[in-house]
Each structure stands twice: as C-alpha cells, then as structure tokens.
Structure 1
Amino acid sequence: MASTTDTKNYKFNHSMLRVKDPKESVKFYSFLGMSLLKKLEFPDAKFDLYFLGFDSPKAVSAGNNLWDREGLIELTHNYGTENDPEYKINNGNVEPHRGFGHTCVSVDNLQAACARLEEAGYKFQKKLTDGRMRHIAFVLDPDGYWVELIGQKPVEETEGVTTTDLETYRMNHTMLRVKDAEKSLAFYRDLLGMTLFRTHEAPAAAFNLYFLGYPGASAAPGAGVGPPAEREGLLELTWNYGTEKDEAFSYHNGNAEPQGFGHICVSVDNLEAACARLEGLNVAWKKRLTDGRMKNVAFVLDPDGYWVELVQNERFTGKANF
C-alpha cells in the first residue's frame, strides 16, 4: 500500500447515533429497507455497534466491504439503557441542545413510503400534509431522531401510485447545523476533500443549506448519482443567518450531556497517511491514532466541535479493521 493519501478515494461512510433499545431501533431501520451489515460487540467496554445500510442489488454500495460504502447508520448501544426508565436520547432538535438535525432517506414514491410507515404505527414529526412544504416528511425513529423522507421524483409524478420499492431507497444525507458556514465549508472541502454539490439559499427564512459529498467511485455510470436525491452519503450543513456573529453562540455536538448523535465517519485509503496530512493542516484532534487502546481509528473536530471519525477502507489493505 502506498504511503500517500488521496481524498478522491475517501467516502462518507456512516453517521453514528446512540440508541436506548437496539432491538427496536434495528427493527425500525430494517423496516425502512436497511440491512444489518455487521454487529461489533465490545462486552468488556459494555457496548455494541450495529451497522445498517441499503444492500439490495439496486443499492449503490451493494456487496462492498463495510468501510467501502457510503450512507451507513451506526447504532451504538450502551448496555443497560434499554432497562433504564430515566434514560433518554437527545435528538439534537430541542433547545438548548440543538446541533445534529436528521438523517434523510430518499424514496421512489414519497406518498406510498409515508403511508406504509404510518400504517406500521410509526410517528411523524411532520407529515406530507403538514405546513407549506408538501414534498418532504419527517418520521421519528424509536428514540425520537428525525428521519427526513424525500422523493427521488417530484410528488406530482407519484400521485395516486400506492406501491413503493424498498430496494430503490438511498440513505441520502445527514444534516448538521453549523455556526459559521464559511469555516465549515472550508473544513469539509479543503481539509476533508468533499465537493460542494448544491447550495440552497432561503433568505426569506434566513438560512442556507449546503450539500457536500465525495464524487469518487459512486460517480461511475449507473451508480445512482444523477439528481441529488438519487445519491447516497451526502452531508447537509444548515446555517442560520447571524449565528457566526454571536461569540457566545454554540451548537451541541451530541457527545456532551445529554448525549445522542455521536459522529460522522470518513473512510480513507491510507489511515496513517490521512492522519499525517491532517496533522500538517493543523486540525483539532479529539483522538489521534496513537491515543488510547484503539489504534485503528482517529477523530478530528470540525469547527463546531462535531466529531469526525477516520477509519481505514479495507479495500486498500485487504485486511479486516476489527
């Protein structure tokens, strides 16, 4: 393996969420069409990790090794929380602990997908018919995390169609609120090598949305990289105007109490070289490779203090990380 690193090989691998009861959470995401790809157990440390993603023959990353994918969800279960009546997750959307906003799944038929979830008894933060925005919905997972649902086609084209094909679903994006858009864009573009695919400006509502991701292997023909809604593994940054001017303003990173969202993860071609490159760019570290017992993961901090995990893509080494 070469001793260099190229951000063109990087992938936005997963988003980590802490959960109270893994059985209920896995059931929910499986109902959304995801497969449990791997479970990592750490009984000595009293936690388990569940990695879920879309893995049908129609999925973008179908059949790839765990770290050679984009758009995964990592569920972290700390033993005993399922039996603790006082334990509650911070979903990132309640003051004063806002920060992480939601994950998003794009679907072939938005109306039918929403009807299926509603019939199964899952609650919604926002139904299609709520408010003025009739082209998005938010379903709640068992811990109250928001999962946005968007259509891969305009809702007008799927009106009256009652079927939905789970094999066409994509884990489209993860949304984080950021204080200073320019600082965050510089971090994700210049340091982590992401591309800014789309900007949505909403001056009347005083916010902008920025969608970033890695072109990489998913740019291959037929890999579902047409319109943004057909992609997987995007990062949405939400900037509310004026926050950058308030020195006292900050977002909750999900890892301070009360906890919830944990981190996003980027898989790289050469972990040691990637970390050395970032060291040279003076990033802020939460955990270097040499820190602690786990020598195969590192964590850098983005401008808002969100944790970004770095892990080796096994395709470049031919050996397992865990």
Structure 2
Amino acid sequence: MTTDTSKYKFNHSMLRVKDPKRSVAFYEFLGLKVVNKIENADAKFDLYFLGYDSSKAVSSGNHWTDREGLIELTHNYGTEDDPNYKTVNGNSEPHRGFGHVCISVDNIQAACKRIEDAGYKFQKKLTDGRMKHIAFALDPDDYWVEIVSQKNAAETEDITTTDVETYRMNHTMIRVKDAEKSLAFYQDTLGMKLLRKMEAPQASFNLYFLGYSEPSDKTSGYEGLLELTWNYGTEKDEGFKYHNGNDEPQGFGHICVSVDNLQAACDRFDQKGVNWKKRLTDGRMKNIAFVLDPDGYWIEVVQNESIKKHAGW
C-alpha cells in the first residue's frame, strides 16, 4: 500500500460549542452550510460539519471528506442548558493556544457591516487599532473569526454589497512554541507546503501559512490553510507550553487531514516516528486516527471517501 501526500487535504477544524442552534445559525449567516451531521445519541454528542457549498464554492457538492476548510462543531448534549458551561477560546491566559478561524470575503467593509447590523459582536472592528485591513468577529462561544479581504488594497472595493457565496474558509491559526520543529512536522510529516511567510520583527512574531495548494503571494482566495504563529523566544523557555484545547478547560479540539489511503498514511506516520493520540486499532472507532504535533495539538486523520471507500460515511 502506498500514500501520496499531494492528495491530502486540510479537511476541517473542530470547535466545541455550547448551543448548536446558535452556533450553526452564526456560521450559516457567514455563508457556510451544514454539509454533514453525525449524531451519536449513545455517546450523547453530535457533530456538525459546515462548509461553503454554493455554485461559486471551491468544492461544491463534494463528499464532506473530499473538501478543505470545513468547520466541525461538536455539541455535547445538555451544555446548552448548563449555566456554568463555557468553552475557552484559546486567546486568554493561561489557556492560549488556538487563535482563530478566518474567512476571506469579497468586500470587507460591506461584510463587516452586515455582521454588525445582524447584532453579532466584534473582538476588533476594521477601525480599531493600527491594522485597518482585518477584523475579528466573535461567534456565540467567543471564538475569534478573522475577516480578511480577497482583494488587494490597491483594488477598488465596493463597500456597499457583499456576496456570501464567494466567501472562503481561509485558514485556522494555532500558536506554536518552536517554529522550526512545527514547520518540519507539518511539511515533512504531513506533507504540507509553506505557502507564505510574514515576518514582524518589530512585534517579535512570525506567521507561516501552510497548505496542500501551490505557493502564492496571494493566499486569501484559498481554502484550508494552516497559520502557525510563533512569538520570538518561546522556544528557549523550557517551561513554556501552549494549551491544546483538549485539556480542561476545553474549547478547540483538533484539525483534521483527509488522506488518499488511511492505512498507508498511518503506516507512513509510524515510519516518521509520530506521537500517537489514537491509532486506528485503538478503541471502537477504527476509521479515524489522531497524531500529536510538537505542541500537543491533536490532528485527526480520516479517509477521503471520494478516493477510496473506508468508513461508509
């Protein structure tokens, strides 16, 4: 059996939510659609997979495992009625780790106005701070949703209209302790390509954008990118550690890569010496595996069902 990393896809990012009705409504307002729902009544949780699915979308109509840039919302039964239940969004000490998901839009002024007019809150509006070209909306669980433009700053922008069918689920950001170790893992082990690097020495951080697409200076039109944020000096602090979202208190759960041949991919990961959270043979679910990245973030591995049938989803 063989596996080809060029056929892998950054399929989804998982977020735990308190109330699925509110969360699904928010992401549907941003133009996403529930493309798959998995109900687990016995284990008392449901999974909602949302993605852009209009005729203008990148992977319209594809099987959910044959897409990039999905958001998986995990709902554990009863949390919506528990006044004490709260997720962590990954941006507050001492539980920083996951940062945000990001959508890219056609007309950022109009897109932000539409979100604000609907009554949703912002962590950062376009007019806040020095960076006037990005905004951060807050979903019902206070996860940050970055909003960026698909257009260059020099392009004339219609600030009055926006078409959600043209939006993209562009990237997911996680903070990493050691950029060199993380870049090696995501490139050499997972087969991603470094598409873009942004250095900000005056602010003491770098951003690295990776994915399974071809490199480009303009990545805002892509779906399914991974942004690694490295703050200078964390790699030298022996006691420094980011929160992976799965240790208590919980929030962000994992990212997921779909592969061409699940068994062969896992065999390859074994040869690469990965740290496993769950092998295919562990537990009752034999159709998923989880590996750990250098910071302890979970990476789910599933079969791309459009290439080879495995799970029957």
Question: Does TM, scored on the shorter chain, surpass 0.5?
Answer: yes
1:293 pairs, out of 284, 288, 296, with 284
* Residue aligning to 2:222: 231
Q: Distance between the aligned counterparts of 1:161 and 1:129, measured in 2?
A: 14
Task: Name the SS for the 2:268 alignment partner.
Answer: helix
Does structure 1 residue 12 correspond to structure 2 residue 10?
Answer: yes
* Residue aligning to 1:314: 305
* Residue aligning to 2:139: 141
1:35 pairs, out of 21, 33, 36, with 33
Question: Which runs of structure 1 show a deviation greater than 2 angstroms over 4 or more consecutive aligned residues?
Answer: 154-161, 318-322
- Equivalent positions of 1:5-154 (< 5 A) are 5-154=3-152
CA RMSD of aligned residues (A): 1.2
Deviation per CA, 1:89-131, whole angstroms, max 9, x where unpaired? 1000000000000000000000000000000000000000000
* Residue aligning to 1:262: 253
Q: Distance between the aligned counterparts of 2:157 and 2:182, measured in 1?
A: 38
Q: Distance between the aligned counterparts of 1:289 and 1:203, measured in 2?
A: 42
**Partner letter of residue 299 of structure 1?**
F
Q: Distance between the aligned counterparts of 2:287 and 2:208, measured in 1?
A: 31
Contact 2:287-2:303 within 8 A present in 1 as well: yes
**Partner letter of residue 287 of structure 1?**
K
Give 5+ residue unaligned stretches, structure 2: none
Q: Distance between the aligned counterparts of 2:294 and 2:191, measured in 1?
A: 15
Deviation per CA, 1:262-316, whole angstroms, max 9, x where unpaired? 0000000000000000001110000000000000000000000000000000012
1:302 pairs, out of 272, 290, 293, with 293
Does structure 1 residue 170 correspond to structure 2 residue 168?
Answer: yes
Distance change >3 Å, CA 320–CA 276, structure 1 → 2: closer
Task: Name the SS for the 2:66 alignment partner.
Answer: coil
**Partner letter of residue 21 of structure 1?**
D
**Partner letter of residue 131 of structure 2?**
M
* Residue aligning to 2:238: 247
Task: Name the SS for the 1:315 alignment partner.
Answer: coil
Q: Distance between the aligned counterparts of 1:232 and 1:42, measured in 2?
A: 28
Q: Distance between the aligned counterparts of 2:311 and 2:99, measured in 1?
A: 32
1:283 pairs, out of 264, 274, 284, with 274
Q: Distance between the aligned counterparts of 2:270 and 2:156, measured in 1?
A: 49
Q: Distance between the aligned counterparts of 1:62 and 1:79, measured in 2?
A: 30
Deviation per CA, 1:119-153, whole angstroms, max 9, x where unpaired? 00000000000000000000000000000000011
Contact 2:175-2:242 within 8 A present in 1 as well: yes
Q: Distance between the aligned counterparts of 1:231 and 1:258, measured in 2?
A: 32
Deviation per CA, 1:232-284, whole angstroms, max 9, x where unpaired? 00000000000000000000000000000000000000000000000011100
Q: Which moved more, 1:12-21 or 1:149-158?
A: 149-158
**Partner letter of residue 238 of structure 1?**
T
Q: Which moved more, 1:150-159 or 1:229-238?
A: 150-159
1:211 pairs, out of 205, 209, 212, with 209
Contact 2:292-2:298 within 8 A present in 1 as well: yes
**Partner letter of residue 81 of structure 1?**
T
How much has 1:317 moved relative to structure 2?
Answer: 1.6
How much has 1:318 moved relative to structure 2?
Answer: 4.0
Contact 2:170-2:225 within 8 A present in 1 as well: yes
**Partner letter of residue 132 of structure 2?**
R
Q: Distance between the aligned counterparts of 2:292 and 2:109, measured in 1?
A: 38
* Residue aligning to 1:222: none
Q: Distance between the aligned counterparts of 2:158 and 2:283, measured in 1?
A: 56
Q: Distance between the aligned counterparts of 2:139 and 2:8, measured in 1?
A: 29
Contact 1:138-1:147 within 8 A present in 2 as well: yes
Q: Distance between the aligned counterparts of 1:44 and 1:184, measured in 2?
A: 37
Identical positions, percent: 74
Q: Distance between the aligned counterparts of 1:273 and 1:295, measured in 2?
A: 14
Q: TM-score, normalised by structure 1?
A: 0.95
